[in-house]
């Protein structure tokens, strides 16, 4: 730590009055031990908040995702409804199917957004950043995550329509469409979902990890 | 690629607009391309059958040995680990590969000398597998002693913990890699 501080201090001194812009000082780097300590401190509140808000957020996602699905279909035949037996699940219902077969699928809504635990903990744990800035960055990251979740609901429903309904899927979706929705759901539900917290964190805080841009 | 520590452009502080975020954008684009590419690759049947399935079998065997070592008296049937009270099937998704790919994509996307990237990748893969081993063992014990908590522990808690470990390993590695070298510090 001392080595790093010394180095950057000297470089800053040399750059004084030369190339460094007055309005944009470089972001301070953080120490890993403080990050680990903050992660431990932030984890419990984030978990409790997520657990408390999950039932409401699931309902919001089911409603918003259902609206997005209906925007993409003519005529509107899809309804997403919360499962009565398990509040973590959503049922996919098609109103144009016979009553006995209207329930065409389901998915676990809570699984779509459990990565918020990781996102919240990472954003709140960054040391050396004022709380106001941390919360503002977290707010932007959450907004991006919510948009992603709504799109993920759409991908889950389209994936079920395109690949899981047997003859009906074959009749309504060609090979290209089946592959497209299958791959899109796979990529969104695994790499993008799992990598999103790190990706969003990097957007706001990578400059604290990268070597300083020093003017020589 | 050289093994020199990364040198930054001297006129970087004068960049404006999107150019000021060139390094962030480059990292993100490379990270996402590697992430999507690697996950697509492992979902391809030949790769899955020849690489991922045997690897998952190996994870199951090591987990079984570890559970035996701590007195759980388990027996293996393929990728299924069972004792008289509980059984788990180690499947794709339980093998730590997703976290390894996230970590490796982030390591490869970070501007660092190749030697350090390779060292970080090797260390990270081993560390992530150790955490995943802990996860499988802990989940089995949860199933044996606290079966009501198994589902939540499986889908939410341990998945988050393993990915968090991968992300933390990357942050720690990137922080070390990005520190100025002693020689650079003297000449600065």
How far B115 CA sits from the closest chain A CA (Å)?
17
SS3 call for B76: strand
Instruction: Please give chain B's pLDDT, 188 residues, in tens.
Output: 444 444 444 444 456 677 777 888 888 899 999 998 999 898 888 999 999 999 999 999 999 999 999 998 899 888 899 988 899 998 887 889 999 999 999 999 998 899 999 999 999 999 999 999 999 999 999 999 999 888 888 877 888 899 999 999 999 899 888 776 655 444 43
CB contact residues (below 8 A), chain B span 98-137, against chain A: 98-99, 101-102, 105-106, 110-111
Q: Is the ipTM of this complex over 0.95?
A: no
Query: Would you give the end-to-end CA distance of chain A in angstroms?
Result: 21
Contact status of A93 with chain B (Cβ, < 8 Å): no
Beginning with the edge strand found earlier in the chain, give each strand of the sheet holding B75-77 in spatial order. Answer: B75-77, B80-82, B87-89
Residues B35-60: tens digit of each pLDDT: 989 998 988 889 999 999 999 999 99
CB contact residues (below 8 A), chain B span 131-160, against chain A: 155-156, 159-160
- In sequence order, the 6+-apart residues with CB closer than 8 A to the CB of B19 are none
Q: What is the pTM of this model?
A: 0.79
Tokens representing residue A181 in the block: 């929705």
How far B187 CA sits from the closest chain A CA (Å)?
9
Contact status of B41 with chain A (Cβ, < 8 Å): no
| Cα within 13 Å of Cα(A76), Cβ side | 8
CB contact under 8 A, A202 and B31: yes
Residues A112-160: tens digit of each pLDDT: 999 999 999 999 999 888 999 999 999 999 999 999 999 999 999 999 9
């Amino acid at each position: 730590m001392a080595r790093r501080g010394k180095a950057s201090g000297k470089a800053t001194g040399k750059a004084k009055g030369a190339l460094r812009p007055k309005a944009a000082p470089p972001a301070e780097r953080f120490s890993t031990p403080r990050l680990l300590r903050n992660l431990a401190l932030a984890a419990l509140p984030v978990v409790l908040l997520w657990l408390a808000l999950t039932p409401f957020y699931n309902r919001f996602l089911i409603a918003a995702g259902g609206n997005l699905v209906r925007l993409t279909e003519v005529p509107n035949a899809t309804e997403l409804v919360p499962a009565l037996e398990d509040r973590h699940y959503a049922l996919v219902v098609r109103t144009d199917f016979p009553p006995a077969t209207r329930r065409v699928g389901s998915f676990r809504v809570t699984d779509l957004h459990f990565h918020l635990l990781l996102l919240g903990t990472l954003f709140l744990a960054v040391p050396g950043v004022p709380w106001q800035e941390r919360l503002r960055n977290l707010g932007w990251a959450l907004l991006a995550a919510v948009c992603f979740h709504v799109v993920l609901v759409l991908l889950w429903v389209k994936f079920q329509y395109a690949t899981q309904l047997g003859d009906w899927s074959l009749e309504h979706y060609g090979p290209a469409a089946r592959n497209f929705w299958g791959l899109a759901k796979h990529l969104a539900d695994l790499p993008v979902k799992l990598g999103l917290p790190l990706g969003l964190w990097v957007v706001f805080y990578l400059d604290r990890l990268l070597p300083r841009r020093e003017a020589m | 690629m050289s093994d020199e520590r990364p040198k930054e452009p001297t006129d970087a502080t004068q960049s404006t607009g999107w150019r000021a975020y060139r390094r962030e954008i480059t990292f993100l684009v490379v990270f996402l391309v590697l992430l999507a590419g690697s996950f697509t690759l492992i979902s391809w049947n030949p790769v899955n059958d020849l690489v991922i399935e045997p690897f998952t079998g190996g994870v199951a065997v090591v987990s079984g040995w570890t559970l035996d070592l701590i007195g759980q008296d388990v027996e293996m049937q393929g990728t299924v680990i069972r004792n008289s009270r509980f059984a788990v099937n180690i499947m794709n998704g339980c093998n730590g590969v997703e976290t390894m790919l996230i970590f490796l994509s982030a390591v490869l996307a970070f501007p660092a000398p190749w030697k350090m990237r390779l060292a970080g990748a090797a260390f990270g893969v081993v560390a992530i597998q150790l955490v995943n081993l802990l996860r499988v063992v802990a989940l089995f014990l949860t199933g044996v002693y606290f079966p009501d908590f198994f589902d939540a522990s499986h889908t939410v808690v341990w998945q988050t913990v393993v990915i968090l470990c991968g992300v933390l390993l990357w942050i720690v590695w990137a922080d070390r890699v990005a520190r100025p070298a002693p020689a650079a510090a003297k000449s600065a």
